[in-house]
Amino acid sequence: MRAFVRRVIQISGFELSTCLEAANGQEALDLLQREWVDAILTDINVPEVDGEEFLHRLALHELLDSVPVIVISADATQNRISRVLSLGARGYVTKPFLPEVLRAELEAALGVPCA
Amino acid sequence: MPDISLHTALQESEDEVLEKMFFIRSFGEPQDSAREPEFVAHLTFEGDPPGWLALCVTAPAARSVSADFLGEEKVDLSEQQIGEVVCELANMICGSVLSRVENNSGFRRATPRLLPPGQPSERGFPVRGGSSSAATHSAGVGNGRLMVIFNTETPAWSAAEKHAF
């Protein structure tokens, strides 16, 4: 999925300089201790630390709580979307999605003007 | 009539996922149904209702969808890459179907896992309880085929049916 998302971002025309990857929530938290990022894309259904727990831990972090997070998930139920947004996610993209949808969410989260 | 709606949800979900995420269109029920699936992804889910989904894909179809998903040449793909894509395809179809039939109650999916090759009927997929509801959908993809089996432990109702009821 990570390879696909990277490809979709490229297809959408969004300018991406560096893209860091983590296989699960814990790996992502470890990575974020060493690297600064402008935005985070995560699924909910990931091993070890899932997407909701990941959001919860980010919210408790002094610096990382300001990094916009966009959740990408196959779960389109309103309960889930509301819960994830209440945990601090800046955007929610349901799979399957079109490249322009992800781009629009990224632009909105980063505060850059839409092309 | 929940099974008919479940089948419709399954078909719509599969078509939507293949079109949007794999940039391909499936074609109807394939003629060649004798070929054994080489990749089978299976995942369970908890919610209302709970159940499981299995996605069975022939090797040519699995290689074809993986190449489209990853933007790679078919010959460059490893078995591991193909297996991961088949699992992700199962995950997305399952989430899409559940979002249609589970309304807003929410659900939790397990991580999909690949099962050894063989016919689905020989795998003994667990069906608990006597009121389960199942739907299957097959489609041709490239020069192969895929089949989705969606089983719930209690009858699944679409959101529209729930409201009508």
The confidence score (pLDDT) of residue B28 equals 72
Q: Flag whether pLDDT at A13 surpasses 60.
A: yes
Tokens of A54: 């990941």
Residues of chain B contacting A1 with CB distance shorter than 8 Å: 88
Indicate the SS3 state at residue B88.
helix
Instruction: Tell me the β-bridge partners of B53.
Output: B43, B150
> Quick one: pLDDT band at residue B36, thresholds 50, 70, 90?
low
Alpha carbon B95 to its chain's center: 10
Name the percent of chain A lying above pLDDT 70.
97
Q: How many CB atoms lie within 10 A of CB B63?
A: 23
Beta-strand relationship, A91-94 and B113-115:
unpaired
Mean of the pLDDT values across residues A25-49? Answer: 91
Count interface pairs A-B at CB distance under 8 A: 59
Which 8-state DSSP code applies to residue A2?
A: H
Please spell the DSSP secondary structure of B46-70, one letter per residue. Answer: EESS-EEEEEEE-HHHHHHHHHHHH
- pLDDT tens digits along B55-100: 999 999 999 999 999 989 999 999 999 999 999 999 999 999 998 8
Predicted pLDDT of residue B165: 44
∠ CA B84-B90-B92, rounded to 5°: 105
Read off φ and ψ for residue A92, nearest 5 degrees.
-145, 120
Residues from chain B that touch A4, judged by Cβ atoms under 8 A, are 21, 69-70, 88
Ramachandran angles phi, psi of A73, nearest 5°: -150, 155
- In three-state secondary structure terms, B151 is strand
Which residues is A70 bridged to in the sheet?
Answer: A41, A91
Kindly determine whether residue A96 and residue B17, on different chains, have CB atoms separated by under 8 Å: yes
What are the structure tokens assigned to A5, written together? 């998302």
Q: Which of B17, B88, B106 sits opposite A79 (nearest CB)?
A: B106
Measured in angstroms, the CA of B8 and the nearest CA of chain A are apart by 17
B136 vs B4: which has the higher pLDDT = B136
